[in-house]
């Protein structure tokens, strides 16, 4: 695998996961003049898997332009995006505490899917993958939801929860990629990086 990559993500969990893989990386974050949030707008009738793959591809286009402007070294750029889907409804990052409570009430006692798409660009090459996992929540009381939201952990998280945090106590079953639910599926990431390395 490449010994150095750029990570175009502000997620500390993705940094932790890359470190766990032993991959040296440097952040390649949006500059103040970029409207990064605009990339995450859901299109009408867009299904969750299509949404997360489209957003990730757009993030890679923006990151490539960012690296070119900065004159950085030629190295792979990794972009990723995670979304939570309850049936066909996309649960993004909560707008506020009440929105987080709404999402958690909807997830209570039900199974939902977590999609994490990754896209890696290296010079003119692009490789992509999408991890799909299923998570089942136990029934959550209003008190449990209120306490969790008051902790602040749901904010900034797709679906208003973090699988590696306090919400682990809510989860009765997981099927798929734990690291994918965290925000970066390690198996798929390793496969794509090796594919890029082998093609050079």
What sections of 84-141 are H helices per DSSP? 97-107
Q: How far apart are CA 137 and CA 170, in angstroms?
A: 6
Q: How far apart are CA 69 and CA 105, in angstroms?
A: 44
Whether residue 3 lies in the annotated active site:
no
- Reported as type and span, the H/E element at residue 147 is helix 142-150
**In the structure encoding, which two tokens stand for residue 78, read together?**
């990794």
Distances (CA, A) of 68 to 3, 62, 64, 77, 120: 20, 10, 6, 12, 15
For residues 52 and 83, the answer to whether their CB atoms sit within 8 Å is yes
CA–CA–CA angle 150, 152, 155 (5° rounding) = 125
For residues 171 and 163, the answer to whether their CB atoms sit within 8 Å is yes
From the candidates 3, 35, 81, 99, give the one annotated as an active-site residue.
81
Catalytic residues: 81
């Amino acid at each position: 695998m490449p010994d150095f990559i750029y990570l175009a993500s502000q997620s500390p969990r993705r940094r932790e996961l890359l470190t766990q893989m032993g991959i040296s990386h440097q952040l390649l974050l949006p500059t103040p003049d970029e409207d990064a949030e605009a990339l995450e707008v859901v299109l009408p009738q867009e299904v969750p898997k299509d949404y997360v793959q489209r957003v990730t591809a757009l993030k890679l286009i923006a990151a490539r332009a960012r690296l070119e402007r900065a004159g950085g070294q030629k190295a792979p750029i990794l972009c990723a995006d995670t979304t939570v889907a309850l049936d066909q409804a996309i649960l993004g990052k909560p707008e506020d505490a009440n929105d987080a409570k709404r999402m958690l009430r909807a997830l209570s006692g039900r199974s939902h899917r977590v999609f994490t798409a990754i896209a890696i660009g290296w010079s003119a090459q692009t490789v992509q993958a999408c991890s799909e996992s299923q998570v089942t929540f136990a029934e959550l009381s209003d008190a449990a939801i209120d306490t969790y939201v008051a902790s602040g952990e749901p904010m900034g998280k797709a679906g208003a929860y973090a699988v590696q945090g306090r919400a682990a106590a809510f989860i009765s079953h997981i099927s798929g990629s734990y690291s994918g639910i965290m925000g970066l599926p390690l198996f798929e990431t390793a496969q794509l990086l090796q594919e890029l390395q082998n093609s050079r």
